[in-house]
Amino acid sequence: MQEFRLPDLGEGMHEAEIRRWLVKPGDSVKLDQPMLEVETDKAVVEIPAPVSGRVAEIKVPEGKVAQLGEVLVTFENGATASSSPSASVSVQRGVQSDVAAVSASSAGSNGSGGSATATRPRVLAAPAVRKRAFELGIDLAQVPASHPSGRVTMDDLEKFAQQAKAAPTQSVQAAQAVPAVMPVQTNGTGAAPAPTKPPEAGAQEERQALTGLRRRIAERMERSWRTIPHAVAFDELDGSALVALRQQLKPVAEQRGVRLTYMPLLVKLLIPVLKEYPIFNASFDEEQRAIIYKRVYHIGIAVDAPEGLLVPVIRDADRLSIIEIAQRMEHLIAGAQKRSLTIPEVTGSTFTLNNIGGFGGSSGVPIINYPEAAILAVGRLQEKAVVVNGSIVVRSIMPLTLSFDHRLIDGGAAGRFLARFKALAEHPQQLMLDMI
């Protein structure tokens, strides 16, 4: 029998819930055929079959949590793997650009029948490249790899495709390809699936197991609240200038096909404040009892997805323009709604911005996105009567709530952080001073 074990999904993830099996015992599968969906606290990942052969036994049923390296499924002897002749199959992929390193080991039985039959070597390529190759009808084995490791990159594929167009007589075979993360179907209403069993007649309550994303959210919230001593600071800002700036930029953004909301502006305003107060872009190493200052600015954006709260990440936000941030946000929000984001797109944030106003709320107290040091929540812009220079005027007011790790940050620093952010947001033209 050949065993397939839960692969390393990266970012320190050591377990995953089996969301759905796409095969059953007795089924014949092909190499790279979608085999199962697993769910981590960050993403739904579709894992392809590492061999061609017949499924012997599924070891971990749907709804159960599997640990890293645990056997998920076994294949009958004689399954053919795309590898060199040996009793083990290892398909290596870079975690940052792929889904994971996938390994399937063979537990030999019945004498020599346990070894895998060799075919051609497996082509190293990210799932996105495999998907594109499938769409183009190109066999990745025919594409010359420029990377020293032999990995076929997207540039290699596109170059080969252009050459194939220029030489129509060249024969191109279609290859199997599976993206790293596939959209997951819901019940069609955008809501989480209903309980599997209908309530009994006359029942006054029903019980549903906490599974999937809801379970992961619960675990992360428990860890954050149990580990981090939360403290909270409140303020509000006059968003009138912010409203005016968005109105000026909105037509320009629309001409470029971008929908400009307030969030890209707030992200851009946040960066200089994080640079001025680096402790807010830090995290705490609990084992070493040390502060880790981050020199990158990966901003998490809380998104209300159909199955629960997700935090996709705008990586290197300090290097992006407002338009680029808006474009990136559109992609991430759409991906969060479909649960189609890759693991790098939902991991590694250094600070989180939560737009409670986008959820319909005026204000609220956010829980820190572990292991970050702080999270800023902005409420809905509302017109209110305020006093300016002794006169009552109407202004667009935005509530601010800053939750912070009191082990690293004191109330004074939190107050100064909010004051600086408020000053920039009330005079957003100051951003021009930092433009190159």
List, by residue number, the catalytic residues: 406
Q: In degrees rounded to 5, what are phi and psi of residue 139?
A: -80, 115
Report DSSP letters for 308-333, one per residue: EEE--EETTGGGS-HHHHHHHHHHHH
Buried b (16+ CB within 10 A) or exposed e, 340-354: bbbbbbbbbbbbbbb
Question: In a 10 Å sphere around its CB, with 0-12 CB exposed, 13-18 middle and 19+ buried, how is residue 126 labelled?
Answer: buried
Burial of 247 (0-12, 13-18, 19+ CB in 10 A): exposed
Whole-number Å distance between alpha carbons of 223 and 227: 6
Rounded Cα–Cα distance for residues 231 and 212 (Å): 30
Cα–Cα distance between 265 and 259 in angstroms, integer?
Answer: 12
Answer yes or no: are the C-beta atoms of 398 and 422 closer than 8 Å: no
How many residues comprise the chain? Answer: 436
Report the sign of the C-alpha dihedral through residues 328, 299, 231, 410, in that order.
negative
> How many angstroms separate the CA atoms of 3 and 70, rounded?
10
Which tokens in the block code for residue 270?
């946040």
214: its two tokens: 């809801």
E-strand stretches of 76-168: 80-81, 88-91, 102-106, 117-118
Residue-wise burial string across 166-200, b where 16 or more C-beta atoms lie within 10 A, e elsewhere: eeeeeebeebbbbbbbbebeeeeeeebeeeeeeee
